[in-house]
Structure 1
Amino acid sequence: MESVINTIVARPPAPGHRLRVVGLDGSESIDLSELHAQAGRLAAHLHSQGVERGDRIGILAANSLEWVLLDLAALRLGVVTAGFEPGKFEASDELLTRYDLKHLITDRSAKEIRHLAETGTETPAALPPPPCYEPTDTTTLKFTSGSTGRPKGLAASVGSIDSSLRAVQEMFQHGPDDDLFVFLPLSLLQQRYWIYSALRYGHDVTVSTYEAAFLAMRQTQPTVVMGVPGFYESAKKHIEARAAASNRPLEQEARKLFGDRIRYLWTGSAPASAAMLRFFTTAGLPIYEGYGLNETCIVSKNHPGAHREGSVGRVLPGKHVLIDPDTNAVSVRSDFPVNTRYAYAQPGESERMFAPDGTVRTGDVGHIDDDGFLYIHGRADDTIVLDNGKKVVVRPIEEAMKASPAIAECVVFCPGQTKLVAVVSPSHEPPDHEAIAVHLAQTNATLERDERIHKVVVASPPFSIEGDTLTSQFKPKRSRILDLHRAEIHDSDRGIHA
């Protein structure tokens, strides 16, 4: 099978398609053939500085053209990149030592990188021959989201990247008229997939940031948006508010926000609510949910021609989903695994996640229907056992609470194993306590007695990446939220009571 990575390393793309980078401070655009050439010149400079195949360089920077150039230059040399997310990691000598980095490049180096890429010289003598990667070779060290503690390192294999890109291209047929929109941090390997896809399959790609996403979409009119459920939940509330204020149809407001060229919306990385998925489909923007982990890459995906509501899609070729007959626990075995253990983790963490044969224990529970569609019911640890023996699955309760326009996020705890307490992140500041109280009563009315929320703690400040209560993929950090609000959770006099 063709290696996408080897193809984009070995030969330049045909001219005519572009990478755009859009931020709050402006935008720039570069033809993909020139991007390839500049990455080669930067690779030649790195090689002249003694950077060789097998070395590791760290990139601790915001999304930018320089980030892309460094990543592609590293691929050209066979150098492993370690993508560090700003805010989650700090530049230090300890970082260099801990992750065995030859160089650590930060935002401060941007001007120098640009100069070298634009004016440097790439000659046959300046660069070794392009590497020919084997499926088990690694190109990048990526990190888990950190939702369950300190991020763990995972060296990603070329085989896993290639197989994922081939599967996505087969499902969605990205082509010359497409512009794929990326705004999550490039330190997340999957965000770089879409740049590799553009170089191999011939389409445009736009890179932005979360803060500039809506502005960038209006400017560039993408055909595909890659986003996590939290982003679409925010967009949904924005569209609903604008439609109510203007008395215009939801579909019109949705198109104003996302642009007129949208072919489909992509979501994954965290559970998506059925209400949100239906909202966008009804508004004329088809949205397709998938399933995967850092440790597995993409496992299943809904797509045109193979979409089933409530599922996370049909299992992809090369992925084998195993369901435990007693517990419904989901495990995944891959023909081309991301890896079979963590590169950096506490003792025992690799063994807990990876079986001896490399099968990944996901921690999720679910089932597969007769047509091969996978359904995820929640996390195994989403189940709380009360002191009366009753088992309560909290994910549906949290989703029900998030249906309120006043609530952006909800995490349910159970102090003393007796009564449920929800910590909610308000959608607006100041919080609408009255609306939250009304929705609490409405939600409890639909639940059985043991499932009802005893009280709500309103987080102040709201959950955020900057506040270390959300991961970069907008998943709540449960342990961190519990630590911050432990006193309020346990204090019977504080909070909004049912």
Structure 2
Amino acid sequence: MPRSLINDIVSEAPVHDGRISFARLDGTETLTLAELYERAGRVASGLRRMGVAPGDRIGILAANGLEWVLLDLAALRLKAETAGFEPGKFEPDAELLARYDIKLLFSDRPSDAPGVVPVADVRLLSEKQDDDEPLLPVHYGPEDTTTVKFTSGSTGTPKGLAATAGSIDSSLHAVQEIFEHGPGDDLFVFLPLSLLQQRYWIYSALRHGHDVTISTYEAAFATLGRVRPTVVMGVPAFYETAKRHIESRARRAAKTSSPEDAVREAARRLFGDRIRYLWTGSAPARAAMLTFFDEAGLPIYEGYGLNETCIVTKNHPGASRAGSVGKVLTGKQVLIDEDGVISVRSDHPVNRRYAYAAPGDSERVFGEDGTVRTGDLGHLDEDGFLFIRGRADDVIVLDNGKKVIVRPIEEQMKSDPAIAECVLFCPAQTDLVAVVSPSALPADTEAIAARLARTNSSVERDEQIRRVVVAQEPFSIDNGLLTSQFKPKRKQILAAYEREINDTKEGIHAA
């Protein structure tokens, strides 16, 4: 395996000119990565004065910002673990500290609980102290844990997944091999830093000399044009929203230029004029959305991975195939069983089991060697591109024995601009019922009905949708019907619309 990136960034100050910026609605704060390294070292010294030692765990429950990054890098410098908690899903209380063995919890939310520290205090820790003793050198072996990430906690106690240094190194080396990020690049990150993969791009910047800009989902669209990044890391739902923004702007400009030129200009105005490519994954992306950005002059590449595997496959320049999620990356192996269920074997597994999980949870997902049963259905084509067909758990078996894979049908419904999400259910094992999240309110029921008719005309009789429930409001993270990565939560959607789903009337129905 190549040199450890994690060991490089904890042991050596950057010697390049890379910068990190924090883009907010009220402006942008920028510092060099060399300065970031120095300030993280001072924060590490401050944490040591507060009693944090190697092997201890600090928690971070806060919005993206400089403090988050300094804490994460400081913990690496101490060989302490971080635990990133998604804001809005956890409370900064004594129960959280006890449940997850947290030494100190840094939060931007008020709390009187012992061990909870205002995250704003991190800036004080980063100030120079004359009596600071040098940090002791640390070294990470491939199996050493750097961080623990947690599920969003929508049901039950959120389980954790400890990530090893070897898995981070392996993923970043594989990504660098195909995208060659370097000086001149600026990677734009706005998803929560509690998602470990978002922190990868900070580590990459420290090692490879490119810039990185940290923002938030709320500020992303307002700051993109000002920041002018070369790469944007986003989930499909973000790009669907961006597509609507671009189309709206293009319609207003179409009077003075061709439709194609209007779209390209609107895309440049939204994303800036330096985009090299757009990165997406974490949830299925619609083919129409991917085509839209490619034709708008913003190449977009879809990939595939899970928290338990990190990135597994990726389309990239020179190796991209429509409909696929890319080729398997170095260090990963995709295995597909006789039922089409995908498993992933890694040279350096993220881990071999969950932490803080119910009995049997780990055994259902992890093999003894760390091989992960993903629960996704797919196949590899003759050239090694992976195609995902849906979730094994989302295969509906009708009372006549017919197996219906729901994802292709849901994707057909979602291809209409009036529909943001579509989730299929089969309450009596006879008829398919769709719950539709409208793209806007009031819902365009005529467009939804037209899309239903087109979808039903293209599938077999057993695969036809008998009725559609139009959600009262679009699915969102706030109403608990989308995950933090904007995937529909099927169980919660079923619970929210169970009465309407079990109604026997055919056609389109408002909830």
TM-score (norm 2): 0.93
Shift of 1:121: 4.9
- Matched residues in 2 for 1:355 and 1:16: separation? 43
In the alignment, which of 412, 417, 422 is matched to residue 405 of structure 1? 417
Residue 35 of structure 1 corresponds to which residue in structure 2? 36
Residues 132-143 of structure 1 aligned to structure 2 (within 5 Å):
132-143=139-150
In the alignment, which of 121, 129, 137 is matched to residue 130 of structure 1? 137
Q: Does 1:229 align with 2:236?
A: yes
Residues 246-395 of structure 1 aligned to structure 2 (within 5 Å):
246-247=253-254, 248=259, 249-324=262-337, 326-395=338-407
In the alignment, which of 455, 462, 478 is matched to residue 474 of structure 2? 462
SS at match of 2:126: helix
State the one-letter code of the partner of 1:98: R
Q: Does 1:181 align with 2:193?
A: no
- Structure 1's 263 and 63: CA in aligned 2 closer, same or farther, altered over 3 A? same
- Matched residues in 2 for 1:369 and 1:401: separation? 26
- Matched residues in 1 for 2:361 and 2:398: separation? 28
Q: Does 1:114 align with 2:123?
A: yes
- Matched residues in 2 for 1:497 and 1:450: separation? 21
State the one-letter code of the partner of 1:370: E
Shift of 1:397: 1.0
Q: CA RMSD in A?
A: 1.7
Asked if structure 1 preserves the Cα contact closer than 8 Å seen for 2:89 and 2:153, the reply is no
- Matched residues in 2 for 1:190 and 1:368: separation? 25
- Structure 1's 133 and 97: CA in aligned 2 closer, same or farther, altered over 3 A? same
Asked if structure 2 preserves the Cα contact closer than 8 Å seen for 1:148 and 1:477, the reply is no
Which moved further from structure 2: 60-69 or 450-459?
450-459
SS at match of 1:212: helix
- Matched residues in 2 for 1:292 and 1:471: separation? 16
State the one-letter code of the partner of 2:429: Q
- Structure 1's 149 and 402: CA in aligned 2 closer, same or farther, altered over 3 A? farther
Residue 49 of structure 1 corresponds to which residue in structure 2? 50
Residue 115 of structure 2 corresponds to which residue in structure 1? none
Shift of 1:382: 2.1
Which moved further from structure 2: 366-375 or 390-399?
366-375
Asked if structure 1 preserves the Cα contact closer than 8 Å seen for 2:42 and 2:126, the reply is yes
Asked if structure 1 preserves the Cα contact closer than 8 Å seen for 2:466 and 2:507, the reply is no
Shift of 1:65: 0.7
Shift of 1:278: 1.4
- Matched residues in 2 for 1:464 and 1:180: separation? 26
Shift of 1:26: 3.0
- Matched residues in 2 for 1:400 and 1:150: separation? 35
Which moved further from structure 2: 15-24 or 255-264?
15-24
SS at match of 1:479: helix
Shift of 1:445: 2.1
Shift of 1:374: 1.7
Asked if structure 2 preserves the Cα contact closer than 8 Å seen for 1:142 and 1:189, the reply is yes
- Structure 1's 436 and 370: CA in aligned 2 closer, same or farther, altered over 3 A? closer
Shift of 1:236: 1.6
Does 1 or 2 have the higher relative contact order (CA < 8 Å, sep 6+)? 1
Question: Unaligned stretches of 5+ in structure 1?
Answer: none
Which moved further from structure 2: 192-201 or 145-154?
145-154
State the one-letter code of the partner of 2:448: I
Shift of 1:489: 1.0
Q: Does 1:61 align with 2:62?
A: yes
State the one-letter code of the partner of 2:339: T
Shift of 1:110: 3.2
Residue 164 of structure 1 corresponds to which residue in structure 2? 171
* 1:341-367 C-alpha deviation (Å, 9 max, x unpaired): 001211101000011222100101212
State the one-letter code of the partner of 2:492: R
SS at match of 1:118: coil
Asked if structure 1 preserves the Cα contact closer than 8 Å seen for 2:314 and 2:328, the reply is yes
* 1:249-276 C-alpha deviation (Å, 9 max, x unpaired): 3222211211110000011111112221
Asked if structure 2 preserves the Cα contact closer than 8 Å seen for 1:41 and 1:122, the reply is no
Residue 81 of structure 2 corresponds to which residue in structure 1? 80
Asked if structure 2 preserves the Cα contact closer than 8 Å seen for 1:42 and 1:120, the reply is no
- Matched residues in 2 for 1:160 and 1:143: separation? 17
Asked if structure 2 preserves the Cα contact closer than 8 Å seen for 1:290 and 1:313, the reply is yes
Residue 500 of structure 2 corresponds to which residue in structure 1? 488
Shift of 1:24: 2.5
Asked if structure 1 preserves the Cα contact closer than 8 Å seen for 2:89 and 2:152, the reply is no
Asked if structure 2 preserves the Cα contact closer than 8 Å seen for 1:183 and 1:207, the reply is yes
- Matched residues in 2 for 1:121 and 1:429: separation? 59
In the alignment, which of 434, 444, 447 is matched to residue 459 of structure 2? 447
- Matched residues in 2 for 1:309 and 1:456: separation? 29
Shift of 1:491: 2.3
Shift of 1:147: 7.5
* 1:27-54 C-alpha deviation (Å, 9 max, x unpaired): 2111111111110001001101110000
- Matched residues in 1 for 2:307 and 2:382: separation? 27
- Matched residues in 1 for 2:312 and 2:97: separation? 33
Asked if structure 2 preserves the Cα contact closer than 8 Å seen for 1:314 and 1:373, the reply is yes
Asked if structure 2 preserves the Cα contact closer than 8 Å seen for 1:454 and 1:497, the reply is no
Percent identity of equivalent pairs: 68
Question: Unaligned stretches of 5+ in structure 2?
Answer: 110-117
- Matched residues in 2 for 1:149 and 1:170: separation? 39
Which moved further from structure 2: 268-277 or 243-252?
243-252
In the alignment, which of 431, 450, 468 is matched to residue 419 of structure 1? 431
- Matched residues in 1 for 2:130 and 2:211: separation? 26
Which moved further from structure 2: 187-196 or 274-283?
274-283
State the one-letter code of the partner of 1:110: V
Residue 213 of structure 1 corresponds to which residue in structure 2? 220
- Matched residues in 2 for 1:241 and 1:396: separation? 28
- Matched residues in 1 for 2:274 and 2:307: separation? 30
- Structure 1's 240 and 122: CA in aligned 2 closer, same or farther, altered over 3 A? farther
Q: How many residues align?
A: 495
* 1:426-456 C-alpha deviation (Å, 9 max, x unpaired): 1112222222222222222222221111111
Q: Does 1:155 align with 2:162?
A: yes
